[in-house]
């Protein structure tokens, strides 16, 4: 369990507060506020604040004086239209602020998304906690044989056990040494900004991360994807559930036109039309490479 009783008390205190506001309130998000959704063994995602809801997307798209809502049905239609035609700016009018605890190697992928605001816990200034990501046995996977950048099946028996032993032992030893180097008992104590370099990439860090809905969708499209590394995908999956409660119309449009959608190349569209017209199209007469043809078949067959 990742949280101390002090931390839980602070969270409860925040959840207990209630103030009147003239701002738009998203009922589905109020429920999430401050609660830590556990991810991996010690990580979490917590909603700290949010701005806007489905109606706020329409209000901005219409640049309206009032709420911008004509009717609920109308709003969903507009949101789907905006999503389908890549009108991204109205989605930028919603904003979310999260507190995330995550292993450093996940943080290093995550930070590549530049259009967000970040305040990370500083290991120059503070001492990191002894918390390391140790994969569950199911997730101790072999290198993929078909994809240089992926993982295959879970390792079996002894090999898996050996890996877990190594990860645990090296984490523990590195942290022990980190602590002993910064200790000021009977010695000067190494600067924190230096000592942290001894810590492996499965140590947990945490940050406040704030992003608008358009850029969050972009992040989720790439990171909730089956090609994303499992350890970041579980964060994306957790955020998908939160977003579905926050802006249900926009999330459904995102599922239909992004997450569950496919992009067909010019050659693929051409082949498709020929197939629907009854022609027998093969890789050879399609203009696609073998690899593209495999990707095309995956789309039109069972997926």
Distance of alpha carbon 113 from alpha carbon 215, whole angstroms: 9
Q: Alpha-carbon distance 150 to 159, whole Å?
A: 19
Cβ proximity of 97 and 197 under 8 Å: no
Burial (Cβ within 10 Å: 0-12, 13-18, ≥19) of residue 246: buried
**Rounded to whole angstroms, how far apart are CA atoms 228 and 236?**
10
Cβ neighbour number for residue 25 with a 10 Å cutoff: 11
Q: Is 24 helix (H, G, I), strand (E, B) or coil?
A: coil
Q: Which two tokens stand for residue 170?
A: 């090296």
CA distance 5 to 184: 28
- 162 counts as catalytic: no
Spatial contact of 105 and 231, defined as CB atoms under 8 Å apart: yes
C-alpha–C-alpha distance, residues 167 and 175, integer Å:
12
Dist. CA 97–CA 47, nearest whole Å = 6
Query: Among the options 124, 151, 223, 291, which is catalytic?
Result: 223
Q: Is residue 260 a contact partner of residue 39, using CB atoms and an 8 Å limit? A: no
Show which residues are catalytic. Answer: 223
């Amino acid at each position: 369990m990742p949280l101390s009783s002090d931390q839980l008390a602070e969270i409860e205190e925040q959840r207990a507060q209630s103030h009147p506001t003239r701002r738009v309130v998203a009922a589905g998000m109020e429920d999430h506020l401050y609660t830590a959704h556990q991810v991996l063994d010690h990580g979490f995602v917590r909603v700290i604040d949010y701005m806007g809801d489905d109606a706020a997307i329409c209000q901005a798209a219409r640049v309206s004086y009032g709420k911008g809502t004509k009717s609920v049905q109308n709003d969903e239609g507009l949101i789907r239209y905006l999503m389908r035609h890549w009108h991204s700016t109205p989605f930028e009018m919603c904003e979310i602020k999260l507190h995330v605890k995550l292993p450093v190697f996940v943080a290093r992928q995550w930070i590549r998304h530049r259009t967000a605001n970040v305040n990370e816990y500083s290991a120059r200034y503070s001492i990191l906690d002894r918390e390391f990501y140790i994969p569950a046995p199911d997730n101790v996977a072999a290198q993929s044989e078909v994809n240089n950048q992926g993982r295959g099946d879970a390792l079996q028996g002894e090999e898996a056990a050996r890996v877990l032993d190594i990860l645990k032992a090296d984490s523990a030893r590195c942290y022990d040494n980190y602590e002993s180097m910064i200790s000021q008992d009977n010695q000067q104590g190494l600067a924190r900004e230096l000592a942290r370099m001894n810590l492996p990439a499965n140590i947990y860090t945490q940050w406040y991360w704030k992003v608008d809905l358009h850029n969050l969708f972009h992040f989720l499209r790439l990171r909730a994807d089956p090609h994303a590394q499992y350890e970041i995908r579980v964060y994306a999956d957790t955020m998908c559930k939160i977003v579905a409660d926050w802006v249900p119309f926009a999330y459904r449009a995102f599922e239909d036109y992004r997450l569950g959608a496919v992009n067909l190349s010019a050659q693929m569209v051409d082949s498709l039309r020929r197939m629907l017209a009854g022609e027998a199209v093969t890789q050879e007469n399609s203009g696609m490479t073998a690899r593209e043809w495999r990707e095309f078949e995956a789309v039109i067959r069972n997926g």
